Structure formats: C-alpha cells, structure tokens
Structure 1
Amino acid sequence: MADYLLFATERYALPILQAMADALQAQGHRPHALLVDGAAGGALPGVPSLTLHEAVRLRPTAVFSAANWVPPFIAGAKVQLFHGFNVEKREDARGHFRLRPLFDLYCTQGPATTVPFQALAGRHGFFKVVETGWPKLDPLFRPDDGRAAALRAPAAGRPVVLFATTFSRRLSAAEPLFDAIAAQVASGERYWLLTLHPKCPSDVIARYRGLAGPNATFVEPEQLLAAERAADVLVADTTSVVSEFVVQHKSVVTFRNRAPKPHMLDFDDPARLPAMLAEAFAPPATLGAALAAYSDAIHPWRDGRSAERVLAATEALQAGRLGALQRKPAGAWLRNLQIRHHMGYWRLR
C-alpha cells in the first residue's frame, strides 16, 4: 500500500483525477488530493484534500498531475495526465507539445499524441512516454452509474444536444451562438444540456444558466462526462470536449473551429444552426467513417482501464523498466523557483 498525490489547478480536471483515485483505491493504495488555484474548494469524493505543507510531508510515491505543471519540490515521480486533447488552439511549441522540465512520465492518450512525445523524449531524454489512454474517459466505456441517465431523463424521449465551449473569447461560440441556441431551447424540439468553460465571463455563464427550464439544464464541470454520455449530438467550437465526444462516434457540430477536420460539421453563420443540427441527427456515411478514424488516432482505448495502465506505467518507471532518465535541463531550477513563488512555499522540505 502506498500514498499517491492527485494534483489539479482547475475544476474540470477533477473527473480525470477521480478515475485515478478509483483505480488506486481498487489496488489498495491511498490517494490524496492537492487542489489549488481554480480547483481550490473542489473535492474528490472519498479522497482527503491536503494543504501544500501536508502534501510535502506526505512524500508520495508519485504525483499525478492533470494540469500543465506540478510542484517539483514534492517527492515522488511526476506524471503528466493532461487536462485535455490537442485541439490545435496554439502552435505545437506553445500548446499540447510544449515541454516543461517538470515531468518524469507522460501518459499519452493515443497515437496522435504518443508519436510526437516519443520523438521529444528521444531528443531530450529527461522523461519517458507510455501510451495508456486517458483516465477521464474510462467511465464512457463502462456501464452507466446512473448520472447520464439522470441528465437524459427530463428529455422525455426527445433528442438531446450538448453545448460546450472553450473559454477564449476569440474562439468561444458562447456569445455569437447565444440567440440561436436560445431559440432552439424555446422551441422544445430537442432537449439541451448547456455547459461553459469555468473561465468564461461570468455574465455569459449567467445568461446560459438563465435558459434552464423544461427544455434545458445547465451542467457543471464535474457533470461534463455524464453529459457527454447522455447527449446524442454536440454543438461546440474549438474546445477539447469535441475530441472527448468524438470517441463515442457521435456527431459534432462546430462553430468556427480553428482547425476543422472531416469528422466535424463546421459552420460560421449562427443562422445555419438549425440546418447543421438536422444534418448531425441524420449524418452521411462518410461522416461516420471520419469519426471512427479520428477516434482511433486520438484514443483507441475502449476498455475503460486507462487509469490502471497509468498506474502500471508509473510503477514500471519507478522500477527502472522504462530505462534511466537523464537529468532535467538547466532551466528546471528557474521553473522550481517560479512555482515556489506562485504557491508561497520556500521551505526546503
């Protein structure tokens, strides 16, 4: 039995860490949570939340991070779980494939992520890469625990649409699509599940909350995975929710996606939303083939056991079965100081 630490900086990371907590507990280990910044005040059921000082004293076997960074002064292997898929919001050097000299192991989601990170690992040598699948998606491939059914129940047999957005005002569909979505909700033809990135402007979130009623409900970040399972079609923008939804081989309608692909039904005029929804609910065969191909590239694992593979990869790293790690680059000490400053922690232990 060993102690492990689960680290998050945003609420939307909690479902990722919950899957890890479940796998750790099933194998007799003790998970603990360190939730900071946007995740502060959140919780993982059945997992004790620690202060930073308590986390340091814990000296965990490993730290599983569902964030872009991790406190390097906490003991244990530092494992990157990712907080989303690569949706090409930024150039590779600034986005998904940006290296931070903090992690010992990257647990990748599928070939589209694994191959680039393996190339980077071969070039730099201070981390290892194992394709495990993404723990957050494990519940999608297991029997429903009732949460998806509960979200779908008010639809009373109507088709269900999920609306999700990214937070960047430049890329978000939340404001330009509000009137079109409000009209769809008012019609009652379909039932809507509405969720916005927690970093969206508070006034925009309030407007969408105001649409809740007999034809719609507002979904909190912790409910997102259940909503993805409950919905028949997704309306979104450049959010990584698109990729999460696609692995179910369900249709996705995207508004001004930054990098539209064959598996998306992309449009740029809010007035076209009704027509795009009609196509999504009666998709051509070519769209189904594109959905399957993209899903296999980003996340071919469909057994609901990605969290178990993450734990196995971490144990292999610590046992030396993945080979020796080179020292972190010289700039790692500066990043350590920056994180200590951000977290207000200057003790040596």
Structure 2
Amino acid sequence: MKIVLFCEQKYAINILQPLEVEANKEGGHSVIWYVQPKNIPDFPLKDEVKWTNSIQEIYDFSPDVLFVPCNIVPYYLPGVKIQIFHGYAAEKKDHWVIRRYFDTYFTQGPFFTEGFKALAKKYKDFEVVETGWPRQDWIYENLHTFDAEKNALLRKHRKSKLALYAPTFSPSLTSLPFIKEGLEKLAREKDVLLILKFHPLTRSEWMEAYRQLAEKHENMLWVEDHNITKYQIMADVMISDTSSTVYEFLLLDKPVITYKTIAKDIYWLDIQHPEDLPDAFDLVLQDAALASKRKWIIDNYDPYLDGKVCHRMLDAARDYISRHGVPKKRKLNLWRKYTSIKKFGKVKRR
C-alpha cells in the first residue's frame, strides 16, 4: 500500500511512528510523512524517514491510505482517511465530534468502539474498527528500555520514587497557574524526584516560569524531549489535570493524581487543594480501590498492550480497500470543504 502518515502536530509523531515501523517490517509498502510546517518547523525524524511538508506532493503521491491522529485531513486527497486519535480523553466534547473527514475510525478499546459505532449508525458514512492505539506498540517494545536511566536519576538525586508532572496546555483546564506551591511542597517533603514535562502548545510564559522553578530545586528536573511516553514508562506516579495523558498512564497500571479535573468519571485521585499533594502522593501508592479502578480503564479503554496494534491497523486498512476500493476524495458539505482548504490550501488536480 501507499501510506501517508499525516502529522499535523508535534505530539502526533510518537503516535504515527509505530505504523512506520510495522509497515517497514511487513515490507511492500511505500510510506511518506506529511509534516505541517507551521506547527512542526523542525521535524525530529527528518533524517530517518521519507517526508514532505507539501500537500501537493501528498496529492501527487496518490496514497491508498492516510493515518490521521488529528481532527482534519484535506478532503481532496485520495486514499482511505483513517482517524486513529491523539489520546483517550473521552470527557472532552471534541473527542466525539464527527467532522465527516474520515472513512473509518480505528478505536482504542470497547468503550470508544461502542460510542463511535452508535455515531456510525447516525451518520451512515463511516465505519468503525477496534484495533487499539498505535502508541501502545512502542510502549510494549520499550517497557524496560529506560530502567537503567531511571535508576541512574534516582541514585544521582538520592530518591526512591519518580513523579511526572504533565499538565494539559488548555488555558481553561490546566493546573499550571495554581499548583506550583503544591509541587514545591511535594519535592521538599517526599522521597521523590519530580520531572516536569509540558505539552508543546503550552503558553511560553508558563513554560519559562516552570523551567526557572526546576533550576532552583534540586529535586525537580525540566525536560523538553518530545517523547512524553518515555517519562510515563519511567515514572511511578503522574500528576496532571484534565489531559488524555492521564489515561495513557493509567493504562500502564500506575497511579495518577489530578488537580480539579473536569472528568465526570474519575478513576484516580483528584485533589482540590495544591497543598494536599504530598499526602495524595502517599495515598495513591498503596490504595487498593484505586488499583481496581485502573483495571477497569485497562479493560475498557485499551486492553491491547500486545505489540500488534499497528498490524491490526494495516490489516483493517487492506480490508476496507478490498471491500470499497480506494476513495478518490471525501464527499463533504461546503463548510467542511472551506475549512479544509483554509487550513491546508489547494492543490493542482489531475
């Protein structure tokens, strides 16, 4: 198959990369990345993969399939347009918005499959296949890759636990303006090294404030690596707010603390006061009820930590093409067409 990995935001790199690995492992595929130049001016994989920031080049490539973690893909591109999602944040309304750009949705687990199959019955112009989330394949391969690095960090800082603070970037949902003193108290009072890892879309002034905070505290570490999953694997506990990274961490069967999450169903410990963070840290490490809630998330959100997600995705794409052929474009209303053209521009059509 001719495959496009459609990378509009920097966070999508780690979601799409396992598909490149699996396609190369299978052989017989031609793979190209589309990298949005405005959002990703410096593509970290530029010397490792075939890529372009030209939509015209993608159109001329005439793909059979496009894998898309973000919300929009140009309707005029040929190929099966597949939504593979950028996380698990079911409480965010836009997770369930059907924008009509996609031929099929590859869902992460039973909870999402049920919801999108109900939407498929309503809209009648897309399919739903449960495959798991591609980032899980990378996690499966790297569950113990960073053990030595973690142990070295803990020895260096003379700590026994590693906590990851990974807030959302959304100004209306983030804990960043409120939780700083709680984080300082945690780092000061508990036997823990605190890693600060922020979303690339976080406001620059918040980034700088916390970078300076980490420089002042020997028990805090600021990291700018685009690969948050590495630090999720390394960490013993995660601190966040309303972010899909919460679910990614729970799927590793590890405890989470959030500050004033808007989630309706909470499968972790949520606190209302930043000063409660040190006590919350002690509690989540030993609470059996929270461990049971994590098991529910694993079973329903994404039970596919088996290293075979991307294989299922490629199989499902082949199956779609065998039944429907390769679509020349996606039929949309004028507003959706306008939105697509405004974002990605036009192409010279054959």
TM-score under structure 2 length normalisation? 0.90
1:131 aligns with 2:130: yes
1:50-129 correspondence to structure 2 within 5 Å: 50=52, 51-90=54-93, 95-129=94-128
- One-letter amino acid of the structure 1 residue matched with residue 9 of structure 2: E
Q: Which runs of 5+ in 2 are unaligned?
A: none
Structure 1 position 330, deviation (Å)? 5.1
Please, which of 241, 256, 259 is the counterpart of residue 260 of structure 2? 256
In 2, are the aligned partners of 1:55 and 1:74 still within 8 Å (CA)?
A: yes
CA distance in 1 between partners of 2:147 and 2:74 (Å): 35
In 2, are the aligned partners of 1:154 and 1:214 still within 8 Å (CA)?
A: no
Number of equivalenced pairs: 340
Structure 1 position 122, deviation (Å)? 2.1
1:214–1:26 CA distance, 2 compared to 1 (3 A): farther
Please, which of 245, 248, 260 is the counterpart of residue 241 of structure 1? 245
Give the 3-state SS of the residue equivalent to 2:67 in structure 1: strand
In 2, are the aligned partners of 1:3 and 1:30 still within 8 Å (CA)?
A: yes
CA distance in 1 between partners of 2:133 and 2:75 (Å): 23
- One-letter amino acid of the structure 2 residue matched with residue 30 of structure 1: S
CA distance in 2 between partners of 1:209 and 1:152 (Å): 23
CA distance in 1 between partners of 2:177 and 2:148 (Å): 29
Please, which of 225, 229, 236 is the counterpart of residue 225 of structure 1? 229
Give the 3-state SS of the residue equivalent to 1:192 in structure 2: strand
CA distance in 1 between partners of 2:123 and 2:219 (Å): 52
Question: What corresponds to 1:315 in structure 2?
Answer: 318
1:209-253 C-alpha deviation (Å, 9 max, x unpaired): 220574332233622011110001111101000000001111110
Q: Relative contact order: is structure 1 or structure 2 higher (C-alpha 8 Å, sep ≥ 6)?
A: 2
Structure 1 position 62, deviation (Å)? 0.7
Question: What corresponds to 2:336 in structure 1?
Answer: 335
Question: What corresponds to 1:32 in structure 2?
Answer: 32
1:30–1:149 CA distance, 2 compared to 1 (3 A): farther
Structure 1 position 83, deviation (Å)? 0.8
Give the 3-state SS of the residue equivalent to 2:227 in structure 1: helix
CA distance in 1 between partners of 2:35 and 2:150 (Å): 27
CA distance in 1 between partners of 2:77 and 2:345 (Å): 14
Structure 1 position 153, deviation (Å)? 2.8
1:274 aligns with 2:274: no
CA distance in 2 between partners of 1:146 and 1:30 (Å): 29
Q: Which runs of 5+ in 1 are unaligned?
A: none
Question: What corresponds to 2:300 in structure 1?
Answer: 297
- One-letter amino acid of the structure 1 residue matched with residue 26 of structure 2: Q
In 1, are the aligned partners of 2:267 and 2:293 still within 8 Å (CA)?
A: yes
In 1, are the aligned partners of 2:168 and 2:242 still within 8 Å (CA)?
A: yes
Runs of 4+ in 1 over 4 A off after TM superposition: 327-330
1:209 aligns with 2:211: yes
TM-score under structure 1 length normalisation? 0.90
In 1, are the aligned partners of 2:75 and 2:332 still within 8 Å (CA)?
A: no
In 1, are the aligned partners of 2:175 and 2:241 still within 8 Å (CA)?
A: yes
1:128-164 C-alpha deviation (Å, 9 max, x unpaired): 1100000012222234473464355312252010111
Give the 3-state SS of the residue equivalent to 2:171 in structure 1: coil
- One-letter amino acid of the structure 2 residue matched with residue 216 of structure 1: M
CA distance in 1 between partners of 2:342 and 2:283 (Å): 51
In 2, are the aligned partners of 1:121 and 1:127 still within 8 Å (CA)?
A: yes
Question: What corresponds to 2:139 in structure 1?
Answer: 140
1:55–1:293 CA distance, 2 compared to 1 (3 A): same
- One-letter amino acid of the structure 1 residue matched with residue 181 of structure 2: D
After superposition, the CA RMSD in angstroms is 2.3
1:89–1:334 CA distance, 2 compared to 1 (3 A): closer
Q: Percent identity?
A: 28
In 1, are the aligned partners of 2:197 and 2:224 still within 8 Å (CA)?
A: yes
Stretch moving more, 253-262 or 215-224: 215-224
Question: What corresponds to 2:197 in structure 1?
Answer: 195
- One-letter amino acid of the structure 2 residue matched with residue 311 of structure 1: L
Give the 3-state SS of the residue equivalent to 2:23 in structure 1: helix
1:87–1:236 CA distance, 2 compared to 1 (3 A): farther
1:124–1:22 CA distance, 2 compared to 1 (3 A): same
Structure 1 position 348, deviation (Å)? 2.5
CA distance in 2 between partners of 1:291 and 1:104 (Å): 32
Question: What corresponds to 1:173 in structure 2?
Answer: 175
